[in-house]
Structure 1
Amino acid sequence: MIPSNEWLKTWNEKRALLTCPNNLNDYFEETAVAGKKIDRLELGSVSIPTGEILVRDPLVYIQKNAEPYLIKVPIGEFPVTAAIIIPGDDDCARYAAVKVQFTAYDAIRFEEALIGTENLIDFNEGEFFGFNVDAGLACVLDKETLKHFCAFQDKFHNEHPGKNLYDDYFAALFAASYAENPDYQRKDGDWINWKIPETNYHIPFFQSGFGDGTYPVYYGFDIEGNVCSLIIQFIDIELAYSEEEQ
C-alpha cells in the first residue's frame, strides 16, 4: 500500500501524537512495573524474509490481502520475547507485551506502527489504532510468510472439510507447548512457535494479555532514528493496575 501524499502530510504533522505513553523498555528490563512483578519468556524466532511486517489474530484475521505496516524492518530471523506479569491473586500469567528485536541497539522512543490508510484527521492524543483480536491470540508475521500461511489454511480446509483449524490442528500444538514449556502457560497452552509446513519459516503465536480487544503495535527507534524493535502492547500496566496501587 502506497499512502497518498495527503495522508503522509497528516502523518508527519501528527507523528508526535503516535508516541507510546509508556516506556516499553521497562517491560523488558525491570523486575516490576507499577508494583506488578515482571518476568520474560523467550518465544523463539520469527522469520522476516521481506521486511514487510504484520501483526494479526492468527485465527480470525489471516487474509491474503492484509496490508503490512508502512515502515519496513530488517530482513532475517529475529528473537521474540514476551514480558509476563507474574501470576498472583488466582489470576493466570498475563502477557503484557511481546517484542521482536531486530538490532543490538536500544529503543529511545516508541511510535505506533501504521499501514497508511488510517484516518488521522480526527486522531487525538491518548488514542491509538491497533489491530483486532477475536480469538485471544496474536502473531507476528511477514508479507511473504502470510502468503504461505494462507496457502496452508486453504489446503487444510480443502483436505479437511468441516474441520476447525484451531480445534483440529493448532490445539494439539499448544498443548504440546505447555507440556514442553509449562512456565507461564495454562494447560491448554498460551504460545507456540509454528514452523509453516513445507517451509523453513517460523511464526510465533501467543496469548493476547486480557483476551479479545484492540491492541497497539509500536516501532522502537534507536538514537540514529532506525527501527530496532517492534513491540505489541497488550496491557498498559501502569493504567490497568493503578487502582490496585491506590
Structure 2
Amino acid sequence: MVRDPLVYIQKDAEPYLIKVPTGEFPVTAAVVVPDDHDCARYAAVKVQFTAYDAIRFEEALIGTEDLVDFNEGEFFGFNVDAGLGCVLDKETLKHFCAFQDKFHNENPGKNLYDDHFAVLFAANYAENPIYQREAGDWINWKIPGTDYHIPFFQSGFGDGTYPVYYGFDVEGNVCSLIIQFIDIELAYSDEE
C-alpha cells in the first residue's frame, strides 16, 4: 500500500488488490532538478520487485473505488495531507501502527513528525544532500525494535491526490510499483 505516513495510516488500511512479492526491494525516485525558481521535486517513485522492465501499467486499486462515475483522464490515487508518501505492506503496517501507538502513549501532546521524524529527515539531508531541501525529503526508516523498513519521501508539489500504478513485464507479471507525483510534461511544459 502507499499512504501518507503521518495522516492516512490506520490499522485497518486496505492494501491494493494485486499481490506483490514480499521482501526488501530497491526504491528509486525520478527528480525534477532544481532551478533558480524551485527546489528539487520528486516526480515519481518506483519500487522494483524483479529484474524485468515494465511494458504496461495499470492503476493500483483497493477495490472500493467508484468506477461508475469514473471519467477518462481521472485517477483514484492516495491522499497526501502532510507532504509525504510511503510504501509498506500489511505486516509492516502492523509494526508501524504499534510504533505510532507507543509514541503517542509515551509522548502525550507530542507531534510524530516534529518530535521524531524531523531529526531523521535532517540527518539524512546532512548525509545525502543532493536533491533534498535542508529539512530532508526522504528517509529509509527502520521501525525501532524491528527489521522492517519504510521508505518515506516528499510528495511532488505537496498535499493532494496521487496515482499509483503497477508495472507488468512481458509475461504479465508484476515487476514494479510506480507512484506518480508530477506529470512532468504537463507541469513543466511551456505550452498552455
**Same fold at TM > 0.5:** yes
Specify the structure having the higher radius of gyration (Cα).
1
In the other structure, the counterpart of 2:188 is 241
> Comparing 84-93 with 228-237, which one deviates more in the overlay?
84-93
Deviations 1:176-202 (A, max 9, x none): 000000000100000010000110010
Report whether the alignment pairs 1:182 with 2:125.
no
Deviation at 1:207, TM superposition (A): 0.3
In the other structure, the counterpart of 1:140 is 87
| 1:13-162 equivalence runs, <5 A | 54-162=1-109
Deviation at 1:234, TM superposition (A): 0.1
In the other structure, the counterpart of 1:198 is 145
Deviation at 1:238, TM superposition (A): 1.1
Percent of matched pairs sharing the same residue: 88
Report whether the alignment pairs 1:164 with 2:111.
yes
Deviation at 1:245, TM superposition (A): 4.9
Q: Structure 1, unaligned stretches of length 5 or more? A: 1-53
Number of aligned residue pairs: 192
Distance (whole Å) between structure 2 residues aligned to residue 101 and residue 164 of structure 1: 32
Deviation at 1:124, TM superposition (A): 2.0
Question: Which secondary structure state, in structure 2, belongs to the residue aligned with residue 171 of structure 1?
Answer: helix
Off by >2 Å, runs of 4+ in structure 1: none
Distance (whole Å) between structure 2 residues aligned to residue 168 and residue 212 of structure 1: 21
Distance (whole Å) between structure 2 residues aligned to residue 196 and residue 90 of structure 1: 36
Distance (whole Å) between structure 2 residues aligned to residue 240 and residue 87 of structure 1: 14
Question: Which secondary structure state, in structure 2, belongs to the residue aligned with residue 114 of structure 1?
Answer: coil
